[in-house]
Amino acid sequence: MSKFFINIFILIIIGVTLTLTPINIDLLKLDNIHFNINSIKKEEKAPITPVTAEIEVVPNLSISSSINSNDYIINPDSLTFTFKATSLLDDKLKKKVIQDINKFKENLVINVNKGTKTIQSFNNKNLNILVNSDISNENTSIFTLQIPLDSKSLDILLGNFTINILSNNSKINENTTVNPINFNATYMEKFHYAKAINHTNTNNFTSLYFTDKNAEYLIPYSKDIKVSKSYIRGILNALLDGPFENSGLTSESIVPRVFSARLTSDELILKLTKNEANKFSSSSTLAYLALNSFKNTFFEFPYIEKLTILVDNKATVKYFHGTDLRNSFIKEYSPKIYLGLLTKIDKDKDINKVYLTPLKSDANDISKIFDLLVSGEINDNSDKLLLSTIPKNIKLLDYKIENKLLTLNLSNEFSDAYSGESEYQNLMIDSIIETFTSLKNVDMVKINVEGKNDIQLNNIDLSKPFKKFLYLNPII
């Protein structure tokens, strides 16, 4: 009887078919998205023992997105392995195949990487991986194994990620092996972003620095302020008032009240009472946010180079969690990487807003800085609220700096970056300009594509160099 079963088994079908929906597979550049799927291994002769089914494995990646790209995967929804087992003539062998697939499932590991760091890792126990038997006839049984890859299941937000799917036991049976699957994915959804500007219809438009609701980042927030006695007093009052309601930022003031302010040629002197200073001395976080809100806000003005803070007319180390106030704060010209920070402005309606946010970095090399804008990983910080701004498929071909003008020559993929998504495109351009003009030897940035200098991205004219913007995240 066993010989009868052996004689009816055919050789293993070789082939792996990858289907992407709705992306046109003929247009997809697989080399650019780093898919590495070699699912079937066929031996020259069918083994005599043990008895195994002939299995063809077909990975099928589905995509839930209205945004299309021929170069990288946007919003993957799930990955389904379809196992086509032929010549299953009895329930015992069918049961054995199901056991093999479940064993493969139990050993699956899904890693989500941001930059060089793994930020999420899943397996069969903490991810809802489904196995189903779909179609069965006398010659073929079809089983599916579905891995959810949507952002909610993976507990990630927006940005560029690398997805690794592998099994600690890659063999389905003695004849069939599924190799690891690796691909780059960009998760996107609608958000509000206010493009940086240089001009307004008011003389009192000012960049203030407030913090996010988690009190982790200081964010430029540009708005028109009320000026009564003096411009400096108007700024101090605006810092006390905080941002507008439903801004997605903290609504509480993060600075102490200043009873006196005096501006000399290049120095601003702020005077506080002891009681006000004590409010910001119990916590290093409170002290950091208060002092840096003052520094970042006033150092936006080119004529202010020093900031001095006095408590009861004295320079001391007793306040702001031991910060040494005996010396003035000097304006720094250190590089900053500008990424997007995702906030929620209406939880009930699920409305997102993104703020362009500066982060300090030790990177001075142009290529390294460009890579940080792509990865979104700054100083090993892989916060899921921080959004990388440049798609992974865009490459920096070369660059040059002449007379403080930085010219970036980017790959052709830049021309179609975030096609049709103006919010993403504006965020990308603003982050590039602000990041590179934070370098001491760069005043302007010009973007070329494959050597061409008359480029337009949607409605953004890139034919001329950009200077550093005056107002980030403007409220108009």
Residues 183 and 69 sit within 8 Å (Cβ to Cβ): no
319 or 85, greater pLDDT:
319
Q: Provide the pLDDT for residue 350.
A: 67
135 band by pLDDT with thresholds 50, 70 and 90:
low
pLDDT tens sequence across 417-460:
888 889 999 999 999 999 999 998 999 999 999 999 888 887 88
For residue 65, is pLDDT > 70?
no
Phi-psi region of 159 (alpha: psi -120 to 50; beta: other; left: phi over 0): left
Cβ of 364: how many Cβ atoms within 10 Å? 12
97 or 118, greater pLDDT:
118
Query: pTM score > 0.85 for this model?
Result: no
Residues 6+ apart with CB under 8 A from 365: none
Instruction: Return d(Cα 442, Cα 430) in angstroms, integer.
Output: 15
Residues 196 and 434 sit within 8 Å (Cβ to Cβ): yes
pLDDT tens sequence across 384-416:
788 899 988 899 999 999 999 999 999 999 998
Instruction: Return d(Cα 73, Cα 183) in angstroms, integer.
Output: 8
37 or 297, greater pLDDT:
297
For residue 358, is pLDDT > 70?
yes
222 band by pLDDT with thresholds 50, 70 and 90:
very high
For residue 20, is pLDDT > 90?
no
Instruction: Return d(Cα 438, Cα 445) in angstroms, integer.
Output: 11
